[in-house]
């Protein structure tokens, strides 16, 4: 077996460090059970990607892909990617989940003020709400934001987990691990709940048109409150879910779309166009729905580029023609 990859070492080190720091909250996070659950989900993504690629290869009469994925080394790498990917989700989710316990300060007002400064005195959230304020537009954004991220995640993980090139898969996983875990530490460093929670009156006025978003925001807030109840020794009113943490800075939804977009620019033109649309949709939608401030999306995009550039250069991937070697 090959030596540990960077994404494995980085994830385990961060999980261990946070477990030492926040060991009292481990019953809330339930790391082992969630690790198995998230790894299983990623395994399904990998199988879906393999099925699609194998079907395309069969239609083309190309046996190369099937020959590659049958190799023990490729299969073992797939298992390691899936298990480490599940651990990334656990680490990210655990840190984000308990932010209000270990750093209860909120920086929402400061982020709002910074947005106004960047907007030359105008709030980008309010400007976009005014621009897309008609019910038809809001309904569309409400539906898109609720679905695009989940669909794009399925596409991205199915694509890269089934990728035949070891170098591409490992480099993508390295940057992806840093993206999510570094983002989680930023949630802890700069706690914020986002404009819809920090300034709710602006969004409650659009409750009918943003029904999906506001139902989900209510669900996350109940989870947030149950985390605080559990931390104070009270009994939660419902089971705490590790993926329902609240954090605004940076926007990792924007970050992930941007990260995948940069990769797609190198290896798949159609994917580049698709994820460019996803980036724009999520960036604008995150502000219209009140999940994020503009600075959250900008910070997420900057983090994504840094993770992509470092992973790409470390793997010495210079031209897309070389990626299959």
Mean pLDDT to the nearest integer, 25-35: 89
pLDDT above 90 for 319? no
The mean pLDDT value for 295-310 works out to: 97
pLDDT over threshold 80, residue 2 = no
Contacts of 64 (CB under 8 A, 6+ apart): 57, 164
* Domain range enclosing 266: 6-322
pTM exceeds cut of 0.85: yes
In a domain, 148, yes or no: yes
**Between 262 and 324, whose confidence is greater?**
262
Asked if the structure places residue 304 within a domain, the reply is yes
83-104 per-position pLDDT tens digit: 999 999 999 999 999 999 999 9
Instruction: Reply yes or no on whether the pLDDT at 126 is more than 80.
Output: yes
325 vs 317: CA distance, rounded Å: 10
Specify if 131 maps to a domain.
yes
pLDDT digits (tens, 9 = 90+) for 248-288: 999 999 999 999 999 999 899 899 999 999 999 999 999 99
- Over pLDDT 90: what percentage of the chain? 82
In a domain, 246, yes or no: yes
Q: Structurally, how many domains does the chain consist of?
A: 1
pLDDT (average), residues 123-127: 93
Mean pLDDT to the nearest integer, 155-159: 96
Q: What is the mean pLDDT of the chain?
A: 93
In a domain, 192, yes or no: yes
1, part of any domain: no
Please write the tens of the pLDDT for every residue from 127-148. 999 888 888 999 999 999 989 9
Is the model's pLDDT at 72 over the cut of 80? yes
Asked if the model's pLDDT at residue 176 lies above 70, the reply is yes
């Amino acid at each position: 077996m090959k030596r540990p990859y960077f994404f494995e070492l980085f994830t385990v080190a961060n999980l261990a460090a946070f477990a030492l720091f926040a060991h009292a909250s481990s019953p809330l996070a339930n790391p082992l059970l969630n690790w198995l659950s998230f790894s299983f989900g990623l395994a399904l993504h990998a199988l879906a990607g393999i099925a699609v690629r194998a079907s395309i290869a069969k239609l083309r009469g190309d046996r190369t892909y099937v020959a590659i994925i049958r190799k023990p080394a490729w299969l073992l790498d797939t298992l390691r990617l899936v298990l480490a990917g599940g651990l990334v989700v656990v680490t990210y989710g655990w840190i984000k989940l308990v932010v209000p316990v270990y750093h209860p300060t909120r920086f929402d007002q400061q982020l709002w003020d910074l947005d106004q400064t960047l907007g030359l005195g105008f709030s980008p959230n309010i400007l976009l709400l005014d621009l897309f304020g008609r019910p038809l537009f809001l309904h569309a954004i409400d539906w898109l934001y609720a679905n695009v991220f989940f669909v794009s995640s399925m596409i991205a993980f199915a694509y890269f987990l089934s990728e035949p090139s070891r170098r591409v898969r490992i480099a993508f996983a390295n940057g992806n691990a840093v993206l999510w875990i570094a983002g989680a530490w930023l949630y802890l460093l700069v706690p914020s709940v986002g404009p819809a929670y920090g300034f709710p009156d602006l969004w409650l006025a659009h409750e009918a048109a943003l029904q999906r978003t506001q139902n989900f925001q209510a669900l996350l807030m109940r989870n947030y409150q149950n985390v605080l109840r559990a931390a104070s020794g009270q009994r939660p009113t419902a089971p705490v879910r590790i993926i329902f943490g609240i954090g605004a800075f940076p926007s990792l939804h924007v970050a992930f779309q941007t990260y995948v977009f940069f990769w797609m620019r190198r290896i798949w033109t159609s994917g580049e166009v698709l994820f460019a649309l996803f980036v724009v949709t999520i960036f604008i939608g995150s502000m219209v729905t009140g999940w994020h401030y503009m600075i959250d999306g900008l910070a997420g995009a900057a983090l994504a580029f840094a993770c992509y550039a470092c992973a790409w250069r470390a793997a010495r991937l210079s031209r897309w023609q070389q990626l299959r070697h």
